[in-house]
Structure 1
Amino acid sequence: MKKIILASLMAVLLVIMAACGSSDDKEKGTESTKKDTTITLGVTPWTSTVPPTAVAKLIIEDMGYSVKEVKADVGNVVIGLSRGDIDAFMDIWLPGHVNHITKFEDDIEELSISYDDAELGIIVPAYMTDINSIEDLKGKEDLFNNELFGIEEGSGGTPLINDAIDKYELDMKQVNSSEGGMLAQAQRFMSAEKPVVFYGWRPHSMFNKFDLKLLEDEKNIFESSTVLVYGNNGLKEKAPDVHAFLSNWSITLDEVEQMILEIEEDGKDPEELAREWIDNNQDKVDEMLGK
């Protein structure tokens, strides 16, 4: 009888040990899978994209994943999302990017809102006291050499500017370049206090660096924007915890703009600033992570 009881106890013990081992192996396997899984974030050549991407990247790496950044214009970022080549993008502006989103709406997913009330429109220096609305540009186009400076042609702002030129019947052409190229051109004119008109938005450091004014838009072409995070349809299956984190994502316009300023004015490293933000907002990070 003692032998039977002892054998039974040994059998129970082996079952318990096997179960624990299976649980440990499963947990180790999950961590191993994370290390072998790369989360790809799209990055556009806009200053507003840098801080949110840097913060998200560090948090996802802290979760145990590798993170890769893919740089492209917004059109190619959304195409990458639709194909599954890019897992998430932190800087979709609506309604500005509505055409990009609508084209691939069956293959991508809105995950969360970063912030609301992001302003955008046509900008002039404050010293141009007689130009306060887009309507005021009409008849004065030659002051600007009939040019309105914009960013890359694939941006959401490009068709809006063309729409404004058309609806306000302005004798102007949009001159497209990179964000940096546009601002360099604008700064060249402003340093001599010459007339210049260009595209602007917040969050951005331009309003802190220069004395600017956003022109009134009586035709409501430039609506204030909502900035969102989008992911591809496979992210939830690929990395459900990353999907959940990005679905809970939140940051403020002022926080993004402050980080942009520190990057541009003080030469701070974006990832160092992102780490500071994480350390100073741990409660918010924990909430986003569902802790």
Structure 2
Amino acid sequence: MKKVVLSMMTALLVMFIVGCSQQNEETSENEAGAEEKPTITLGVTPWTSTVPPTEIAQIILEDMGYTVEQTQADAGSTYIGLSRGDIDVFMDGWFPVHDVYIEKYGETIEETAVSYSDADSGLVVPSYMEDVNSIEDLKGMEADFDNELYGIEEGASVTKKIDGLIETYELDMKQVNSSEGGMIAQAMRKMESEKPVVFYGWRPHTMFNKFDIKMLEDPKGVFESATVKVITNKELQKSAPDAYKFLSNWSIPLDEVEEMIVKIEEEEIPKEEVAQEWIDNHQDKVNEMLGK
């Protein structure tokens, strides 16, 4: 009897040791798998349109087990970072304006997905300027605008496009560059006293909800309706294939981006909360992007 009991205890001890060993191996494998996921860096330009898609992508990527960081930079620096691998993803590439960056860095970056189309951009004026409906209408009245046209930061590719527009339309105007917020603040000061002002505008943006403004017709076609795309460093597909798959399936309607911008900018709801709300309300869409 003692031998039977001893044999049973020995067998149980062996089973316990084997079980612990297997559990430790599984834990080690899981930890190793977790360690294999790289940190993903998202590029963030100083544009309101960049914020909602970036925040949504960050939450989803973190739920997938990735550590996610954000790097603030102007558009030019963001594309340089993408080309070098310092930045992995940019959620707000504007095309065809940003074609110049693809041409320059096409060996190391790629257009991974279309976020949304039909994003209009161009020169805007207040609606109280009833006689100004086309860029051509600015010709001959440049002095009314103090010969100034307000644009965003100098590092943005659209800055050169606007300089080219001034030449194309032979306007006696100079582009005054500042941040997006600085540009809008300058325009607001003019609009408060209903003075003539012309500045760069685009959708999605709260400016079309906040101000009574209109986009000028562009008969010479300097500006085109934009398509906004997700841009990634080409190494991401190898280093984070599931993250790349998710991003390659990415899409979001323009009007939903604009609604989120309004919540963040006007209603002052934290951007993380706005992004999480969108995810919660569009779980089927999220699952589709994740390939579930």
TM over 0.5: yes
Q: How well do the aligned residues superpose, as a CA RMSD in angstroms? A: 1.7
Give distance in 1, aligned partners of 2:213 and 2:158.
18
Match of 2:98 in 1: 97
Gaps of 5+ in 2: 1-14
In the TM superposition, residue 31 of structure 1 has moved relative to its aligned partner by: 2.4
3-state DSSP of counterpart to 1:132: coil
Q: Which position in structure 1 is the counterpart of 2:136?
A: 135
Give, in angstroms, the shift of residue 23 of structure 1: 6.6
Equivalences, count: 275
SS of the equivalent of 2:170 reads: coil
Q: Which amino acid aligns with 1:65?
A: Y
2:267 maps to a residue whose letter is D
User: CA-to-partner distance for each residue in 1:59-102, whole Å, 9 max, x for gaps?
Assistant: 00001111110000011110001101101000000011111221
Structure 2 residue 81 is matched with structure 1 residue 80: yes
Instruction: Give aligned-pair identity as a percent.
Output: 61
SS in 2 for 1:29: helix
C-alpha displacement of 1:156: 2.5
For residue 19 of structure 1, report the CA deviation from its aligned partner: 9.0
Structure 1 ranges of 4+ moved more than 2 A = 16-29, 31-34
For 1:199-214, what aligned pairs fall within 5 Å after superposition? Answer: 199-214=200-215
The farther-off stretch of 156-165 and 135-144 is 156-165
Counterpart position of 1:3: none
3-state SS in 1 of match to 2:247: helix
What residue is the counterpart of 1:29 in the other structure?
32
In structure 2, the partner of 1:260 is 261
Distance 2:156 2:173 in 1: 19
Mapped to 2, the partners of 1:109 and 1:222 lie a distance apart of 23
Separation of aligned partners in 1, 2:184 and 2:164: 21
Q: Which amino acid aligns with 2:222?
A: I
The TM-score, its normalising length taken from structure 1, stands at: 0.91
Aligned to 2:8: none
Q: Deviations over 1:110-156 (max 9, x none)?
A: 11000000000000000000100000000000000000000001112
Partner of 1:271: 272
Q: Measure the CA separation in 2 of the matches of 1:238 and 1:276.
A: 29
CA distance in 1, matches of 2:143, 2:169: 15
User: What's the CA shift string for 1:224-249, capped at 9, x where partnerless?
Assistant: 00000011011112111111110111
**What CA distance in whole angstroms lies between the structure 1 residues aligned with 2:270 and 2:262?**
11
Give the alignment of 1:15-26 within 5 angstroms: 25-26=28-29
| Range with greater deviation from structure 2 (129-138 or 236-245) | 236-245
Tell me the residue number matched to 2:163: 162
Per-residue deviation at 1:28? 4.1
Q: Report what 2:181 is aligned to.
A: 180
Aligned partner of residue 86 in structure 1, secondary structure: coil
Unaligned runs of 5+ in 1: 1-12
Q: How does 1:46-125 map to 2 (within 5 A)?
A: 46-125=47-126
Q: Using the alignment, how far apart are the partners of 1:25 and 1:246 within structure 2?
A: 29
1:179-205: CA deviation from partner (whole Å, max 9, x where unpaired): 000000000000000000000000000
Alpha-carbon distance in structure 2 between the residues aligned to 1:128 and 1:183: 17
Opposite residue 148 of structure 1, the aligned amino acid is L
Return the offset for 1:27. 4.1
The aligned residue for residue 11 of structure 2 is none
Look up the match of 2:226: 225
In 1, distance between residues paired with 2:291 and 2:31?
21
Correspondence for 1:4:
none
Q: Look up the SS of the partner of 1:286 in the other structure.
A: helix
Quick one: distance in 1 between partners of 2:206 and 2:127?
16
State the alpha-carbon separation in 1 of the partners of residues 267 and 190 from structure 2. 24
Could you tell me how far 1:26 is from its partner in structure 2? 3.7
**Paired residues of 2:39 and 2:66 also in contact (CA < 8 A):** yes
